[in-house]
Amino acid sequence: MRYYCSANLILTLTALSVTLALTPEVRALDQAAAPAATVLRLKARTELPGYSGDFDHFGVDLAGNRLFLAAEDHGTLEVFNLKTGAHLQTLTGVKTPHSIHFMPVANRLLVTDSGPGMSKLMDATTYKTVATVRLVPGADSIGYDAPRNHLYVVTGGKDVHMRTSVLADIDPLTGKSYGGVQFDSDHVEAMAVEQHGNHIYINVTDKNYLAVVDKTKHKIVARWPIREGEQNAPLAFDEMGRRLFVVTRKPGKLIVMNADTGASLTSFPAPARADEVVYDQRNRRIYVTGGEGYIGVYEQVDADHYRTLAPVSSAVGAKTAVLVPDLATLYVAASPGEAKLGGAILRFDVAPRDAKP
Protein backbone atom coordinates (compact mmCIF):
# COMPACT_ATOMS: atom_id res chain seq x y z
CA MET A 1 0.00 0.00 0.00
CA ARG A 2 1.27 3.48 -0.89
CA TYR A 3 0.66 6.68 1.06
CA TYR A 4 0.88 10.19 -0.36
CA CYS A 5 1.45 13.39 1.66
CA SER A 6 1.22 16.97 0.50
CA ALA A 7 4.33 19.16 0.65
CA ASN A 8 2.63 21.40 3.22
CA LEU A 9 1.87 18.43 5.46
CA ILE A 10 5.48 17.23 5.24
CA LEU A 11 6.76 20.67 6.23
CA THR A 12 4.27 20.84 9.10
CA LEU A 13 5.26 17.42 10.42
CA THR A 14 8.96 18.30 10.10
CA ALA A 15 8.51 21.52 12.07
CA LEU A 16 6.43 19.68 14.69
CA SER A 17 9.05 16.96 15.16
CA VAL A 18 11.80 19.53 15.60
CA THR A 19 9.69 21.50 18.11
CA LEU A 20 9.11 18.36 20.18
CA ALA A 21 12.85 17.70 20.13
CA LEU A 22 13.67 21.06 21.71
CA THR A 23 15.13 20.94 25.18
CA PRO A 24 12.86 21.85 28.15
CA GLU A 25 14.86 25.06 28.59
CA VAL A 26 14.23 26.08 24.98
CA ARG A 27 10.53 25.24 25.24
CA ALA A 28 10.32 27.34 28.39
CA LEU A 29 11.95 30.23 26.55
CA ASP A 30 9.44 29.74 23.73
CA GLN A 31 6.53 30.00 26.17
CA ALA A 32 7.94 33.05 27.97
CA ALA A 33 8.96 35.07 24.94
CA ALA A 34 6.84 37.39 22.85
CA PRO A 35 4.96 35.70 19.98
CA ALA A 36 6.96 35.21 16.78
CA ALA A 37 4.94 32.59 14.93
CA THR A 38 4.79 34.62 11.74
CA VAL A 39 8.27 36.20 11.85
CA LEU A 40 9.95 33.25 10.11
CA ARG A 41 7.80 30.72 8.28
CA LEU A 42 9.33 27.56 6.85
CA LYS A 43 8.60 27.62 3.13
CA ALA A 44 10.59 24.68 1.75
CA ARG A 45 13.35 22.23 2.50
CA THR A 46 15.86 20.88 -0.03
CA GLU A 47 17.29 17.53 1.00
CA LEU A 48 20.96 16.74 0.39
CA PRO A 49 21.32 12.98 0.91
CA GLY A 50 24.71 11.37 1.12
CA TYR A 51 26.53 14.31 2.68
CA SER A 52 28.64 14.08 5.83
CA GLY A 53 30.33 16.60 8.09
CA ASP A 54 29.64 20.32 8.30
CA PHE A 55 28.53 22.95 5.85
CA ASP A 56 29.98 26.43 6.19
CA HIS A 57 28.92 29.75 4.65
CA PHE A 58 26.72 30.88 1.74
CA GLY A 59 27.24 33.16 -1.25
CA VAL A 60 24.47 34.87 -3.23
CA ASP A 61 24.08 35.83 -6.90
CA LEU A 62 20.80 37.73 -6.84
CA ALA A 63 20.63 38.68 -10.53
CA GLY A 64 21.68 35.20 -11.64
CA ASN A 65 19.23 33.49 -9.24
CA ARG A 66 21.95 31.35 -7.64
CA LEU A 67 22.74 30.38 -4.08
CA PHE A 68 26.18 28.94 -3.30
CA LEU A 69 27.08 26.85 -0.26
CA ALA A 70 30.51 25.75 0.95
CA ALA A 71 30.32 22.05 1.86
CA GLU A 72 33.35 22.30 4.13
CA ASP A 73 33.80 18.68 5.14
CA HIS A 74 32.43 17.26 1.89
CA GLY A 75 35.03 19.18 -0.15
CA THR A 76 32.58 20.71 -2.66
CA LEU A 77 30.67 23.84 -3.56
CA GLU A 78 26.93 23.37 -3.97
CA VAL A 79 24.81 25.52 -6.30
CA PHE A 80 21.06 26.05 -5.84
CA ASN A 81 18.24 27.93 -7.51
CA LEU A 82 17.84 30.97 -5.26
CA LYS A 83 14.06 31.19 -5.61
CA THR A 84 13.05 27.53 -5.65
CA GLY A 85 15.87 25.98 -3.63
CA ALA A 86 16.43 23.30 -6.29
CA HIS A 87 19.91 21.76 -6.18
CA LEU A 88 21.54 22.63 -9.51
CA GLN A 89 25.13 21.45 -9.39
CA THR A 90 28.01 20.13 -7.29
CA LEU A 91 31.41 21.72 -7.93
CA THR A 92 34.70 20.03 -7.14
CA GLY A 93 38.23 21.40 -7.22
CA VAL A 94 38.19 22.67 -3.65
CA LYS A 95 39.49 20.91 -0.56
CA THR A 96 38.01 22.61 2.51
CA PRO A 97 35.89 25.59 1.41
CA HIS A 98 34.61 28.05 3.99
CA SER A 99 33.43 31.40 2.60
CA ILE A 100 32.23 32.58 -0.81
CA HIS A 101 32.43 36.09 -2.25
CA PHE A 102 30.52 36.65 -5.52
CA MET A 103 31.52 39.58 -7.77
CA PRO A 104 28.66 40.26 -10.21
CA VAL A 105 30.42 42.81 -12.44
CA ALA A 106 33.39 40.53 -13.06
CA ASN A 107 31.30 37.34 -12.84
CA ARG A 108 33.84 35.81 -10.48
CA LEU A 109 33.71 33.76 -7.29
CA LEU A 110 36.37 33.93 -4.63
CA VAL A 111 36.28 30.84 -2.41
CA THR A 112 38.39 30.70 0.73
CA ASP A 113 39.91 27.25 1.15
CA SER A 114 41.90 26.12 4.17
CA GLY A 115 43.20 23.10 2.25
CA PRO A 116 46.69 22.86 0.75
CA GLY A 117 45.48 24.02 -2.67
CA MET A 118 44.85 27.54 -1.30
CA SER A 119 41.88 29.83 -2.04
CA LYS A 120 40.46 30.03 -5.54
CA LEU A 121 39.21 32.64 -7.99
CA MET A 122 36.64 30.98 -10.26
CA ASP A 123 34.76 31.97 -13.38
CA ALA A 124 31.14 32.06 -12.20
CA THR A 125 29.80 30.72 -15.50
CA THR A 126 32.16 27.85 -16.25
CA TYR A 127 33.23 27.37 -12.61
CA LYS A 128 36.80 26.89 -13.78
CA THR A 129 39.60 28.14 -11.54
CA VAL A 130 41.21 31.21 -13.11
CA ALA A 131 43.70 32.01 -10.34
CA THR A 132 44.97 30.81 -7.00
CA VAL A 133 45.01 33.28 -4.10
CA ARG A 134 48.16 32.53 -2.12
CA LEU A 135 47.73 33.64 1.47
CA VAL A 136 48.90 32.33 4.83
CA PRO A 137 47.38 28.80 4.99
CA GLY A 138 44.03 28.31 6.69
CA ALA A 139 41.86 30.86 4.86
CA ASP A 140 38.41 30.93 6.44
CA SER A 141 36.06 33.82 7.33
CA ILE A 142 35.72 36.95 5.18
CA GLY A 143 34.46 40.50 5.38
CA TYR A 144 33.93 42.89 2.46
CA ASP A 145 34.54 46.63 2.28
CA ALA A 146 32.35 47.54 -0.71
CA PRO A 147 33.28 51.25 -1.10
CA ARG A 148 37.01 50.41 -1.21
CA ASN A 149 36.61 46.97 -2.87
CA HIS A 150 38.82 45.33 -0.27
CA LEU A 151 38.22 41.79 0.99
CA TYR A 152 39.46 40.74 4.42
CA VAL A 153 40.27 37.07 5.04
CA VAL A 154 41.05 35.30 8.32
CA THR A 155 44.01 32.93 7.86
CA GLY A 156 46.30 30.80 10.02
CA GLY A 157 45.26 29.42 13.39
CA LYS A 158 44.86 26.03 15.00
CA ASP A 159 43.30 24.26 12.01
CA VAL A 160 46.62 24.58 10.16
CA HIS A 161 48.71 24.05 13.32
CA MET A 162 49.69 27.71 13.71
CA ARG A 163 49.78 29.59 17.01
CA THR A 164 48.99 32.91 15.33
CA SER A 165 46.36 34.16 12.90
CA VAL A 166 46.51 36.82 10.19
CA LEU A 167 43.78 39.06 8.83
CA ALA A 168 44.74 39.46 5.18
CA ASP A 169 43.66 42.53 3.17
CA ILE A 170 43.33 41.71 -0.55
CA ASP A 171 41.85 42.81 -3.86
CA PRO A 172 39.09 40.19 -4.36
CA LEU A 173 39.29 40.35 -8.15
CA THR A 174 43.03 39.70 -8.46
CA GLY A 175 44.08 38.36 -5.07
CA LYS A 176 46.66 41.17 -4.76
CA SER A 177 47.75 41.69 -1.15
CA TYR A 178 47.49 45.07 0.55
CA GLY A 179 48.98 43.85 3.81
CA GLY A 180 47.52 42.34 6.96
CA VAL A 181 47.21 42.25 10.73
CA GLN A 182 48.70 39.52 12.91
CA PHE A 183 46.94 38.23 16.04
CA ASP A 184 48.61 36.41 18.91
CA SER A 185 45.77 33.90 18.71
CA ASP A 186 45.12 30.53 17.10
CA HIS A 187 41.35 31.03 16.83
CA VAL A 188 39.98 34.14 15.14
CA GLU A 189 36.40 33.98 13.89
CA ALA A 190 33.81 36.26 12.27
CA MET A 191 34.21 39.96 11.54
CA ALA A 192 32.10 43.03 10.75
CA VAL A 193 33.48 45.66 8.39
CA GLU A 194 32.41 49.30 8.54
CA GLN A 195 31.21 50.49 5.13
CA HIS A 196 31.25 54.17 6.12
CA GLY A 197 34.11 54.16 8.58
CA ASN A 198 37.63 52.95 9.15
CA HIS A 199 37.13 50.00 11.49
CA ILE A 200 36.89 46.23 11.34
CA TYR A 201 35.49 44.42 14.37
CA ILE A 202 36.65 40.84 14.75
CA ASN A 203 36.12 38.09 17.31
CA VAL A 204 39.31 36.73 18.86
CA THR A 205 37.69 33.58 20.14
CA ASP A 206 40.37 31.85 22.21
CA LYS A 207 41.28 35.09 24.02
CA ASN A 208 37.69 36.12 24.68
CA TYR A 209 37.79 39.62 23.28
CA LEU A 210 36.59 41.66 20.32
CA ALA A 211 39.41 43.38 18.42
CA VAL A 212 38.98 46.73 16.68
CA VAL A 213 41.23 47.08 13.63
CA ASP A 214 42.14 50.25 11.74
CA LYS A 215 41.62 49.30 8.08
CA THR A 216 44.15 51.67 6.57
CA LYS A 217 46.91 51.29 9.16
CA HIS A 218 46.47 47.51 9.54
CA LYS A 219 46.68 47.95 13.29
CA ILE A 220 44.69 46.75 16.30
CA VAL A 221 43.46 49.91 18.04
CA ALA A 222 41.29 48.39 20.81
CA ARG A 223 40.58 45.10 22.56
CA TRP A 224 37.16 44.83 24.19
CA PRO A 225 36.72 41.92 26.62
CA ILE A 226 33.65 39.69 26.34
CA ARG A 227 32.54 38.91 29.90
CA GLU A 228 29.11 37.33 29.45
CA GLY A 229 30.41 34.08 27.95
CA GLU A 230 33.30 32.29 26.26
CA GLN A 231 34.03 31.32 22.65
CA ASN A 232 32.74 34.52 21.05
CA ALA A 233 32.41 33.60 17.38
CA PRO A 234 29.46 34.86 15.23
CA LEU A 235 29.20 38.63 14.79
CA ALA A 236 26.77 41.04 13.09
CA PHE A 237 26.66 44.83 12.86
CA ASP A 238 24.03 47.56 12.81
CA GLU A 239 26.24 50.28 11.40
CA MET A 240 23.55 52.96 11.37
CA GLY A 241 22.60 52.31 14.99
CA ARG A 242 26.25 51.70 16.03
CA ARG A 243 25.52 48.35 17.64
CA LEU A 244 27.42 45.07 17.47
CA PHE A 245 25.76 41.69 18.02
CA VAL A 246 28.22 39.15 19.45
CA VAL A 247 27.30 35.51 20.02
CA THR A 248 29.15 33.28 22.48
CA ARG A 249 29.01 29.49 22.46
CA LYS A 250 29.82 28.77 26.12
CA PRO A 251 27.11 29.38 27.12
CA GLY A 252 24.97 30.43 24.16
CA LYS A 253 24.53 34.20 24.52
CA LEU A 254 23.63 37.14 22.31
CA ILE A 255 25.42 40.27 23.51
CA VAL A 256 24.61 43.79 22.29
CA MET A 257 27.62 46.12 22.35
CA ASN A 258 28.21 49.80 21.61
CA ALA A 259 30.37 49.91 18.47
CA ASP A 260 32.04 53.17 19.53
CA THR A 261 32.93 52.38 23.14
CA GLY A 262 32.79 48.59 23.47
CA ALA A 263 30.30 48.87 26.33
CA SER A 264 28.03 45.86 26.78
CA LEU A 265 24.41 47.04 26.79
CA THR A 266 22.41 43.84 27.28
CA SER A 267 22.49 40.10 26.66
CA PHE A 268 20.06 37.24 26.05
CA PRO A 269 20.15 33.42 25.98
CA ALA A 270 20.95 32.21 22.46
CA PRO A 271 21.11 28.84 20.67
CA ALA A 272 24.13 26.69 21.46
CA ARG A 273 26.61 25.67 18.74
CA ALA A 274 25.74 28.84 16.79
CA ASP A 275 27.74 29.64 13.67
CA GLU A 276 25.78 32.64 12.37
CA VAL A 277 24.08 35.78 13.61
CA VAL A 278 22.19 37.90 11.07
CA TYR A 279 21.03 41.47 11.50
CA ASP A 280 17.85 42.18 9.52
CA GLN A 281 18.09 45.94 9.08
CA ARG A 282 14.82 46.25 7.18
CA ASN A 283 12.80 44.64 9.98
CA ARG A 284 15.11 45.51 12.89
CA ARG A 285 15.54 41.93 14.03
CA ILE A 286 18.44 39.64 14.90
CA TYR A 287 18.47 35.92 13.99
CA VAL A 288 20.87 33.44 15.63
CA THR A 289 21.14 29.98 14.04
CA GLY A 290 22.40 27.14 16.24
CA GLY A 291 22.90 23.42 16.04
CA GLU A 292 20.25 22.58 18.65
CA GLY A 293 17.45 22.84 16.10
CA TYR A 294 16.01 26.31 16.52
CA ILE A 295 16.61 29.93 15.51
CA GLY A 296 16.83 32.59 18.20
CA VAL A 297 14.83 35.68 17.20
CA TYR A 298 15.26 39.09 18.81
CA GLU A 299 13.55 42.40 18.11
CA GLN A 300 15.32 45.74 18.16
CA VAL A 301 12.97 48.27 19.76
CA ASP A 302 15.62 50.96 19.39
CA ALA A 303 19.43 51.04 19.58
CA ASP A 304 19.36 50.57 23.37
CA HIS A 305 16.35 48.29 23.84
CA TYR A 306 15.68 44.74 22.64
CA ARG A 307 13.30 41.90 23.38
CA THR A 308 13.31 38.17 22.78
CA LEU A 309 10.73 36.74 20.41
CA ALA A 310 9.72 33.09 20.46
CA PRO A 311 12.36 30.76 18.94
CA VAL A 312 11.62 29.27 15.52
CA SER A 313 12.10 25.55 14.84
CA SER A 314 14.72 24.75 12.20
CA ALA A 315 16.68 21.46 12.21
CA VAL A 316 19.44 19.84 14.22
CA GLY A 317 22.77 21.06 12.87
CA ALA A 318 21.26 24.15 11.19
CA LYS A 319 24.12 26.48 12.10
CA THR A 320 24.84 28.77 9.15
CA ALA A 321 22.51 31.15 7.33
CA VAL A 322 22.21 34.04 4.93
CA LEU A 323 19.48 36.66 4.63
CA VAL A 324 18.45 37.90 1.17
CA PRO A 325 16.39 41.04 1.92
CA ASP A 326 15.25 41.53 -1.68
CA LEU A 327 13.52 38.14 -1.56
CA ALA A 328 12.49 38.42 2.12
CA THR A 329 14.05 34.99 2.60
CA LEU A 330 16.37 33.49 5.20
CA TYR A 331 18.34 30.44 4.00
CA VAL A 332 19.70 28.04 6.62
CA ALA A 333 22.10 25.14 6.05
CA ALA A 334 21.49 22.06 8.20
CA SER A 335 24.79 20.20 8.54
CA PRO A 336 24.57 16.43 8.84
CA GLY A 337 27.46 16.33 11.35
CA GLU A 338 30.29 13.83 11.60
CA ALA A 339 28.30 10.70 12.41
CA LYS A 340 25.30 11.15 10.11
CA LEU A 341 24.57 11.33 6.42
CA GLY A 342 22.34 13.84 4.69
CA GLY A 343 21.97 17.59 5.08
CA ALA A 344 19.38 20.11 3.95
CA ILE A 345 18.75 23.71 2.95
CA LEU A 346 15.81 25.35 4.72
CA ARG A 347 14.10 28.43 3.26
CA PHE A 348 12.15 30.72 5.59
CA ASP A 349 9.85 33.52 4.50
CA VAL A 350 10.65 36.65 6.54
CA ALA A 351 7.55 38.57 7.58
CA PRO A 352 7.72 42.35 7.33
CA ARG A 353 7.64 44.25 10.57
CA ASP A 354 4.76 46.67 11.04
CA ALA A 355 5.87 50.29 10.95
CA LYS A 356 6.02 51.90 14.38
CA PRO A 357 5.97 55.59 15.21
Does 339 map to a domain?
yes
218 and 165 part of one domain: yes
Q: How far apart are CA 340 and CA 357, in angstroms?
A: 49
- Please answer whether residues 297 and 39 qualify as being in contact, where contact means their C-beta atoms are separated by less than 8 angstroms: yes
Task: Report in angstroms the alpha-carbon separations of 156 from 19, 180, 212, 232, 254.
Answer: 39, 12, 19, 18, 27
Residues 245 and 138 in one domain: no
Query: Which residues make beta-bridge pairs with 90?
Result: 78
pLDDT in tens, the chain (357 residues): 333 333 343 344 444 444 444 433 333 333 345 554 579 999 999 999 988 899 999 999 999 999 999 999 999 999 999 999 999 999 999 999 999 999 999 999 999 999 888 999 999 999 999 999 999 999 999 999 999 999 999 999 999 999 999 999 999 999 999 999 999 999 999 999 999 999 999 999 999 999 999 999 999 999 999 999 999 999 999 999 999 999 999 999 999 999 999 999 999 999 999 999 999 999 999 999 999 999 999 999 999 999 999 999 999 999 999 999 999 999 999 998 766 778 999 999 999 987 343
Are residues 59 and 188 located together in one domain of the fold?
yes
Residues in contact with 204: Cβ distance below 8 Å, sequence separation at least 6, in sequence order = 183, 185, 187, 188, 210, 211, 223, 232
Please tell me whether residues 115 and 157 are part of one structural domain: yes
Residues 103 and 147 grouped into a single domain: yes
Residue 271 belongs to a domain: no
| CA triple 59-63-64, angle to 5 deg | 70
8-state DSSP, 26: H
Q: Are residues 247 and 356 in the same domain?
A: yes
Point out which residues pair with 53 in neighbouring strands: 337
> 338 and 353: one domain?
yes
- What domain range is 200 assigned to? 54-225
- Among 103, 101, 196, smallest CA distance to 148 is for 196
Could you give the number of structural domains in the chain? 2
pTM of this structure: 0.89
Q: Is the dihedral of CA 314, 317, 319, 325 positive or negative?
A: negative
Report the SS3 class of residue 310: strand
Distance CA 217, CA 158 (A): 26
Residues 120 and 256 in one domain: no
Judgement on whether residues 245 and 210 belong to the same structural domain of the protein: no
Domain boundary among 178, 209, 225: 225
